[in-house]
Amino acid sequence: MKISYTDRVLHFKQPAGTSRGVYTTHHSYYVRIEQDGVVGIGECSVLPDLSSDTMPAKRYEQILNKVCGFVEKTGGIPYEMLRPYPSILFGFETAFAQMDAKGSTALFDTPFSRGEEGITINGLVWMGTFEEMYARMEEKLKAGFRCVKLKIGAIDWQKEIALIKHIRQYFSRDQIELRVDANGGFTPENAMSRLEELSRYDIHSIEQPIRQHQWREMARLCRESPLPIALDEELIGVNQPDMKRRLLEEIRPAYIVLKPSLHGGMMGTREWISLAQERGIGSWITSALESNIGLNAVAQLCADVYGPGITMPQGLGTGLLYTDNIDMPLEIRGDKLWTIQNEHHVAE
Ligand SMILES: [Mg+2]
């Protein structure tokens, strides 16, 4: 077994706003495993300041080297050792899954990976001015999206709530499902009144209304909110099963939003989903600014965990973000992400 890695800087078409600032480039590492002529490649993608395994590049590469050595020697992934490093775990899991699939990027055998079924995704409207957000909203609807996620918490609250009210005047709940993501932008003091305001406009759910690490306040909001609450950043760094159980039981969210690069790789994501299911908590999966290698792995996992016939829109639209993305057989048609390798076979 031969293991190596490379890295690459990807450039955003438009600066990408996240809860921790604006990115113009994205740095990813690619783990490559080769055995008996079969190659598997996985992406290790970290979001600066957001991931629990954010660290200086030199240190990250030291850990990658160490893991490469371990895997080369043992032929397997050191899962427990990698719990604190979800992005590295996800990269190795992806590479191994591709090896198991004999080098195919169809990592798991699903209708999605065979190109028979698309995964419904939500459109994403980034933070911006009222005018920009409104224009992007219209664009998404025209493209065929039935679920749009709005990033709120960036512009003036009164403007944001006016935008949402305006959108609801033109598009009913049946036409468009609206999700909002506050990225921790509310405070424990103003959150409840804002949730009540939002609930007048048929919002499906709100992600992370207040900053993470305020379990008691978040639990109170989940109990009293008229709007279902989804946890996202809250899950970052919660890597041990006991802690996951405690978090779900103490906060009791309506949903959790899972990003494999941030929330425990494939193993950790599957673990979160089953712990949530046992407690009647819903979930969906989203990508986290990975390039197409990571995005493909996130989508393949999603199809394997929830499919076939996924109805809950997932957050898998980030593949269009980069000017210099890696080529993968992925395509967005209408509001669904598809793999297109099956069509190539038919065409041949
Ligand atoms: Mg979020």
Residue 329: which residues within 8 A CB-CB, separation 6 or more? 105, 339, 340, 341, 344
CA dihedral over 176, 302, 257, 17, signed as positive or negative: negative
Quote the ligand 1 centre to 103 CA distance (angstroms).
32
Quote the ligand 1 centre to 20 CA distance (angstroms).
11
- Report strand pairing: 203-207 vs 229-231: parallel
Quote the ligand 1 centre to 4 CA distance (angstroms).
32
Quote the ligand 1 centre to 207 CA distance (angstroms).
6
The reported pLDDT for the residue numbered 103 is 96
Quote the ligand 1 centre to 208 CA distance (angstroms).
7
pTM (predicted TM-score): 0.94
Give the Cα separation of 212 and 216 in Å (integer). Answer: 11
Taking only the tens of pLDDT, the chain with its 348 residues reads 999 999 999 999 888 766 667 889 999 999 999 999 999 999 999 988 788 888 999 999 999 999 999 999 999 999 999 999 999 999 999 999 999 999 999 999 999 999 999 999 999 877 667 788 778 888 888 899 999 998 887 778 998 898 888 888 878 888 889 999 999 999 999 999 999 999 999 999 999 999 999 999 999 999 999 999 999 999 999 999 999 999 999 999 999 999 999 999 999 999 999 999 999 999 999 999 999 999 999 999 999 999 999 999 999 976 678 999 999 999 999 999 999 864 444 433
Ion ligand 1 residue ranges (Cβ < 5 Å): 181, 207, 232
Quote the ligand 1 centre to 257 CA distance (angstroms).
7
Quote the ligand 1 centre to 142 CA distance (angstroms).
24
The reported pLDDT for the residue numbered 163 is 83
The reported pLDDT for the residue numbered 127 is 60
Residue 295 dihedral angles phi and psi, to the nearest 5°: -60, -45
What are the catalytic residues?
151, 259
The reported pLDDT for the residue numbered 345 is 41
DSSP per-residue string spanning 176-194: -EEEEE-TTBB-TTTHHHH
The reported pLDDT for the residue numbered 14 is 82
Q: What is the DSSP letter of 326?
A: P
The reported pLDDT for the residue numbered 203 is 97
